[in-house]
């Protein structure tokens, strides 16, 4: 027996189905309403049925949908191209006043022509609309480009903004603000010209929400940026100022849009975020050229503290780098068990004298004078106790301080010192080794770094320091 190929069998079935379809459509009762004829409807149901039929007749995808209204209930039958059009018919029927319920007997055909043709018609309609609107779209695009170009050209006009402020950071900030304003203005004008006001509201609302989210995400960065703006306006210090910011000490190199750069006294570069600097306690040693140093020395409790203070103050007054106004001073700070602590102060001009070297020479001068005039420096005193049962000699349990350390005269001290050997004399060139001129090593390093880097500096030497 000869077998048909599968493809021939499939074509035969399609042919038979197409031959039987007209006969099926021609059977009596298939195209008629199964409930009742039009003569049995009341006037209200007939009016609803005619209204729904007229609505479906106007809409191309719903022309094959049939309707029958009985007692306010609309039964929809027939065929629709797809599920979306069937739901559309049901929704339209339920919105008609007087319809209490809607029955769904619509067949979803899902045929190619019924679904592709409406889509092609919609595409052709959209293309025709865009072609008609192309002159307006071109005009809107030209206006958008023109406004943005003028805004960017105005933002690059730095000489205009420098007349308003000499701060380079603010000049850059104003230029960036002009650019953003130009883009927003161009967008608003273009959308209004195209009649897309709803789209404009959506874009602006979305931009606001996005900006809020970004603001929370980069909160620390925005805080640092704002602090940089305020510091560039307030000018808290100058390059090469010797400052202490919280616990960080050094000389100022520059102020950038993100951080304050210091050169530490050890020659290391230190970057501190401007948000930290703005809220920090800043100690500036350079703003006032006069600076006071201080130190403490102790003398024996048996010595005259007033005479020791006078001798120390006179020794500091004799130093060439010491300022006479304010004059050096000395006070009694405290009295210990076996000594008296004297507190000495002196003033120098930092522009001509190094602070640490001046303090060192002042301490040496006061110590030398007190020693030369017979004031003894206190030494640690230890008391020794010996138990009688563990020693053969008859020693007292505790010796008085005077017995443990007999008083020495200046001659005795000289004799002891001479017996130990001659003292080392630093020689006449000691002062040259301790030159009190300001140390410029760190300052030279700062100047070299400022000259070698192109990073912008927000410190303006023409504006007053806050």
Cα-based distances in Å from 74 to 78, 109, 426: 13, 21, 121
Q: Do 152 and 199 belong to one domain? A: yes
Find how far residue 227's CA is from the centre of its chain: 10
Q: Do 296 and 358 belong to one domain? A: yes
Confidence of residue 428 (pLDDT cuts 50, 70, 90): low
pLDDT by residue (tens digit) across 95-125? 888 888 888 888 887 766 556 666 777 788 8
Q: To which residue do tokens 């809220």 refer?
A: 279
Last residue of one domain, picked from the residues 323, 351, 380: 380
The residue count of the chain comes to 466
Q: Do 82 and 98 belong to one domain? A: yes
Confidence of residue 28 (pLDDT cuts 50, 70, 90): very low
**pLDDT mean over 238-263:** 92
Q: Do 301 and 353 belong to one domain? A: yes
User: Domain range spanning residue 194?
Assistant: 117-217
pTM: 0.56
Q: What is the pLDDT of residue 409?
A: 46
Q: The CATH number of the domain where 73 resides is what?
A: 3.30.1340.30
Q: Do 67 and 134 belong to one domain? A: no
Cα-based distances in Å from 430 to 22, 325, 353, 425, 427: 128, 27, 17, 9, 6
**pLDDT mean over 154-164:** 78
- In a domain, residue 226? The reply is no
Last residue of one domain, picked from the residues 380, 405, 426: 380
The proportion of the chain whose per-residue pLDDT surpasses 90, expressed as a percent, equals 27
pLDDT by residue (tens digit) across 389-400? 555 554 444 444
Last residue of one domain, picked from the residues 355, 380, 405: 380
């Amino acid at each position: 027996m000869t077998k048909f190929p599968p493809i021939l069998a499939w074509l035969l079935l399609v042919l038979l189905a197409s031959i039987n379809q007209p006969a099926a459509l021609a059977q009596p009762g298939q195209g008629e309403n199964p409930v009742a004829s039009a003569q049995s409807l009341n006037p209200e149901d007939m009016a609803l049925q005619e209204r729904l039929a007229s609505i479906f007749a106007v809409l191309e995808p719903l022309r094959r949908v049939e309707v029958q209204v009985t007692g306010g209930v609309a039964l929809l039958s027939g065929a629709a191209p797809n599920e979306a059009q069937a739901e559309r018919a049901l929704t339209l029927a339920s919105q008609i006043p007087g319809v209490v319920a809607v029955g769904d007997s619509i067949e979803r055909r899902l045929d190619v022509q019924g679904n592709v043709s409406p889509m092609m018609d919609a595409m052709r309609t959209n293309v025709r609309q865009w072609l008609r609107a192309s002159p307006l779209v071109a005009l809107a695009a030209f206006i958008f480009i023109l406004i943005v170009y003028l805004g960017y050209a105005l933002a690059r006009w730095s000489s205009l903004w420098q007349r308003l402020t000499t701060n380079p950071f603010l000049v850059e900030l104003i230029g960036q603000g002009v650019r953003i304003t130009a883009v927003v203005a161009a967008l608003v004008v273009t959308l209004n010209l195209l009649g897309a006001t709803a789209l404009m509201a959506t874009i602006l609302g979305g931009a606001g929400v996005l900006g809020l989210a970004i603001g929370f995400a980069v909160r620390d960065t925005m805080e640092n940026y704002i602090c940089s703006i305020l510091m560039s306006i307030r000018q808290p210090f100058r390059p090469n100022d010797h400052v202490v910011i919280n616990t960080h000490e050094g000389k100022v190199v520059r102020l950038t849009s993100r951080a304050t750069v210091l050169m530490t006294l050890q020659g290391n570069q230190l970057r501190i975020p401007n948000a930290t600097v703005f809220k920090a306690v800043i100690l500036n040693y350079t703003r006032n050229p006069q600076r006071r140093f201080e130190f403490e020395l102790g003398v024996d409790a048996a010595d005259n503290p007033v005479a020791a203070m006078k001798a120390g103050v006179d020794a500091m007054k004799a130093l060439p780098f010491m300022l006479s106004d304010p004059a050096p001073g000395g006070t009694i700070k405290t009295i210990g068990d076996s000594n008296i602590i004297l507190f000495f102060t002196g003033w120098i001009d930092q522009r001509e004298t190094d602070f640490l070297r001046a303090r060192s020479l002042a301490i040496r001068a006061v110590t030398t004078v007190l020693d030369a005039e017979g004031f003894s420096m206190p030494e640690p005193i230890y008391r020794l106790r010996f138990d009688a049962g563990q020693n053969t000699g008859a020693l007292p349990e505790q010796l008085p301080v005077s017995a443990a350390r007999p008083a020495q005269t200046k001659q005795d001290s000289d004799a002891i010192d001479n017996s130990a050997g001659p003292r080392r004399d630093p020689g006449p060139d000691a002062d040259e080794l301790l030159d009190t001129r300001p140390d410029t090593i760190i300052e030279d390093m700062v100047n070299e770094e400022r000259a070698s880097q192109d990073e912008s500096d927000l410190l303006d030497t023409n504006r007053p320091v806050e």
